Amino acid sequence: MNILVVFFLLQWAKANLGQSANLRPNYVLFVADDLGIGDLGCYGNTTLRTPHIDSLAEDGVLLTHHVAAASLCTPSRAAILTGRYPVRSGMTSFHRIGVFIFAAGSGGLPTNETTFVKLLKEQGYSTALIGKWHLGLNCETSDDHCHHPARHGFDYFYGLPLTNLRNCKPNGSNVFIMGSQHVIHTTLQLVTLALFTLLLLDYLALLRVPWRTLGSVFLAAALLLVVLVLFLSQFRNLNCILMQDEKIIQQPFSFDNLTQRMTSEAISFLERNSDHPFLLFMSYIHVHTALYASQEFLGKSKHGLYGDSVEEMDWSVGQILSSLERLKLSKQTLVYFTSDQGAHVEEISDSGEMHGGWNGIYRGGKSTNWEGGIRVPGLLRWPGVLTAGKRVHGPTSNMDLFPTIVNLAQAKMPSNRIIDGRDLMPLLRAEVEQSEHEFLFHYCNSYLSAVRWHPRNSSAVWKVHFFTPNFNPEGAQGCFDTYVCQCYGRYISYHDPPLLYDLLSDPSETAPLTPTSEPRYHQILAVMSTAVEDHQKGVTPAPNQLSLANILWKPWLQPCCSTLWEHCHCGKEGGKSAPQDGTVDSDYPPTEA
């Protein structure tokens, strides 16, 4: 008898544990790169076809006011993974370059930062990152992999340690020529001037310049130039790398079938873990330049190569969603879709084609804190838990993913640091009307440039800008002279008093309020400036990961699958990945589970 009771109790416990396991969902997180909020059908686009992404909005919740913590890739992605403003982890720059640009730099997401991935792994989840990382690789040697995704909780990695760049296309244009032309020019001028001065002084017998000194100056200049030219000509080999776990499998990576390869990697991961809790971070290299699309999508959209690329990404999302369905995992899986920041409006190809996306009604784009730079898509689907077709209008942040996931996985929130994100579930489940976010702070690299205030018990959303980028030409929507907007000096304008906008009535930030147009003008500014002071008191400086010393090319950190003399070239081009020993894997996609 007793045994029978125990048996039934066990059955009951199993059923209930099964239910509470339901509270610990699997995760599929889609993060697009530089996708504009106005590129998606569910956010109002009528000509680009994104049916699979749109289906998430039909079957789940659409956030209309979802905000990225930064408007550049590296800091925004650091914020997603840590739930913290990237300035707290040292992942913001104080100079012109705001992201990692070389695979052989030494900065990266510090390992004492806790990602939600690490916490989930501790809870028994299998975790994978497919696609772009862009949060550093090495510290001291070319393969110490101190910043590799594996150091941050990912069991499996298939993708780009750095990022996709125009230079990664065989005949792609060079983003660095634009930036370095000035440097090369100035260096040449300085060297010529120095040589000329020395020669003149020597000729006038004012100074005896040993030939050795002259020779050294000349040699040093020549060497510098050769290194620079060599580096630029080898840029693609050195920086466009495809890795599988800790191994380089293609260098430079080929765009052929790249989306198909990544999609099939994602699906294999789902299949391997269909009876096990998992987290898949699908970090698309779409729709950053270099734009690419495979044969089936090339020329098929109404918006050139950019549109083709968006539609190919949507196809990939569809493949992954239907695999979830096939594996009967949809109901136990929380799916999230976002973009790391707004569309890059300055992306115009050499032939003048628009290679950046569309930010809808929002002003500006990537690299600015105008809404166009940080207002991103936010879609969440979890059938049976989240109401299909629900819309949430209050401000939310991409940092909210951290506490949301950590709480759902019943992991412990780190208690020894400030977490800036807020759990989304109460808001999504309509248990509360407002997110806990009252203020959101917007940094331009390391400099605070704007604040958003959503007062309690009010639907109002105010935003102030302390400085804004100077668009060029004036009246344009971007900084077309600098490729990305800058955060100091002659590239910006300070505003004192700051520019104040009412985002509810003026989401496009066209008409700053004045004391006459808004009677509470002074009160609002006072509240926001107190909030800034409080916030800044709580930000303690961390070692800067994006200092020039950390991001510049260090030859001894260069990941290289062959030797430098073989130009670090391996892995067959044409869609097939080859293992490091050079033998080509003819069996692609891999057939084993």
Ligand X SMILES: *[C@@H]1O[C@H](CO)[C@@H](O)[C@H](O)[C@H]1NC(C)=O
Which chain residues interact with ligand X by CB under 6 A? 36, 38-39, 44-48, 110, 112-113, 303, 306-307, 357-358, 360, 417, 542-543
Total residue length of the chain: 593
* Residue sitting closest to ligand X (CB): 358
Distance, CA of 242 to chain centre: 17
Nearer to ligand X, 352 or 489 (CB): 352
Catalytic site residue from 73, 479, 485, 570:
73
Q: How far is the CB of 266 from ligand X (least distance, A)?
A: 25
Helix, strand, coil share of the chain (percent; to 5): 35, 15, 50
Compute the distance between CA of residue 230 and CA of residue 360 in angstroms, rounded to an integer. Answer: 41
Nearer to ligand X, 44 or 538 (CB): 44
Catalytic site residue from 52, 66, 134, 147:
134
Q: How far is the CB of 307 from ligand X (least distance, A)?
A: 6
Nearer to ligand X, 285 or 570 (CB): 285
Task: Say whether 550 sits in a helix, a strand or coil.
Answer: helix
- Cα dihedral across residues 268, 271, 277, 279: positive or negative: positive
Task: Report DSSP letters for 473-529, one per residue.
Answer: STTSSSBTTTSS--SSGGGEEEEEEEEEEETTT-TT--S---TTT-TTHHHHHHHHH
Nearer to ligand X, 93 or 330 (CB): 93
Compute the distance between CA of residue 71 and CA of residue 376 in angstroms, rounded to an integer. Answer: 10
Locus of tokens 């100035």: 186
Nearer to ligand X, 540 or 583 (CB): 540
Nearer to ligand X, 40 or 258 (CB): 40
CB 365 within 8 A of CB 503: no
Q: Read off the tokens for 111.
A: 């390992």
Judge whether 73 counts as a catalytic residue: yes
Q: How far is the CB of 304 from ligand X (least distance, A)?
A: 8
The CA angle 409-413-419, to the nearest 5 degrees, is: 120
Locus of tokens 């917007």: 442
Q: How far is the CB of 258 from ligand X (least distance, A)?
A: 21
Count other C-beta atoms under 10 Å from residue 18's C-beta.
Answer: 9
- Taking alpha carbons only, the member of 39, 52, 123, 5 closest to residue 341 is 39
Catalytic residues: 73, 134
